[in-house]
């Protein structure tokens, strides 16, 4: 399972600024979010030690969606050295995520 990233634990969870951080913004009622959830969990396992992969529930956290200007879900935000370096809005395949991550690592 991907890490649970919250407004409260955000700084602690991404303590290593050199690693790529992948945050999936989602909600329980969002069907496309459920569709990509297994991909996010798989990326968490595959990228262990190389990147930080987590999920942000927008219903329970209000600061992070505002900070990253999330307007629709699912939105996956890629952050490196504290700066956003990429974004995927809506459904995407595992191959699309793999390609984007390969470019950013």
Supply the residues annotated as catalytic: 30, 33
Q: Which residues contact 72 (CB under 8 A, 6 or more apart)?
A: 89, 90
């Amino acid at each position: 399972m991907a890490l649970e990233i919250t407004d409260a634990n955000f700084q602690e969870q991404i303590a290593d600024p050199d690693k790529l951080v992948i945050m999936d913004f989602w909600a329980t009622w969002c069907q496309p979010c459920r569709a990509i959830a297994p991909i996010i969990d798989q990326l968490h396992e595959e990228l262990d030690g190389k990147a930080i992969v987590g999920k942000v529930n927008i219903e329970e956290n209000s600061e992070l969606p505002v900070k990253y200007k999330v307007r629709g879900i699912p939105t996956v935000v890629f952050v490196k050295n504290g700066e956003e370096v990429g974004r995927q809005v809506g459904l995407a395949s595992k191959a699309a995520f793999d390609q984007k991550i390969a470019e950013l690592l």
